[in-house]
Amino acid sequence: MTDNCYHAHVFSIPDGPPMPSSVDLGRSLEKAVNELVKAGRYNSRSEVLREGVRLVQEREARLASLDAAIARGVADADAGRITDANVVFGELAARYGSAPRATTKRKRRRRA
């Protein structure tokens, strides 16, 4: 039976040395990591985990940016800095023309 714990220098403490980590990936993630290395997509299991952590960091940064944008929008609405949607749509239609209407799909003929 294989141990699903993976020991690596994955995480770093800011301005400090790498922190040894024990990671329990579970069978399916362990298998995915091993397959990525075996396929040559990554050189090591550590490389796969580092990439995973980088992706989580990127996602967290995007979510923080989105949260800040939502907070700005809510603050604008609370302060009354809003425009009625019908006014905005009217201005867009005047500037760019009407949105194309959906076309009706033709019925397919059956082949005999």
Contacts 24+ apart (CB under 8 A), 97-100: none
Query: What's the confidence (pLDDT) of residue 8?
Result: 46
Closest CA to 24 of 39, 43, 41, 2: 2
Over the chain (112 residues), what is each successive 10-residue block's mean pLDDT?
47 63 90 97 95 97 98 96 92 83 60 60
The predicted structure's pLDDT at residue 84: 92
9/21 Cα distance (integer angstroms): 6
Q: For position 21, what pLDDT does the model report?
A: 76
pTM given for the model:
0.59
Closest CA to 52 of 26, 25, 27: 25
In this structure, are residues 24 and 5 in contact, taking their beta carbons and an 8 Å threshold? yes
Phi then psi for residue 6, to 5 deg, are -120, 125
CA dist., res. 75 & res. 71, Å (int): 6
Token couple for 31: 């298998």
